[in-house]
Amino acid sequence: MTRLRSLDLLRGFGVMLMVFLHGALYHYGRLQQLDLLDPPLIVTLIGFLLMWGGLFAVLSGAAHAIRAVERLD
């Protein structure tokens, strides 16, 4: 059974980044009064980065699938 260090490293980085981005977005002081037609640049950037969360799910699923196939063999 081999250890997929690169996938583990990317997964760990993805978890830390998602936690940081979610925390940053919800600690924005005027989130409830935000005009979504013209949001501040930082809110737009954080929102854009959070849309890449699906990539973390694909990466995590691939790592789990590879490990499951190794265990079944």
What is residue 27's predicted lDDT score, i.e. its pLDDT? 75
| Residues whose CB falls within 8 Å of the CB of residue 25, separated by 6 or more in sequence, listed in order | 31, 43, 46, 47, 50
CA 43 to chain centre: 16
Torsion of CA 5, 6, 12, 15, to 10 degrees: -150
Question: Along the 73 residues of the chain, how does pLDDT read in single tens digits?
Answer: 456 777 778 888 888 888 888 787 777 666 678 787 888 888 888 888 888 878 888 888 888 888 888 888 7
Tokens of 40: 């501040």
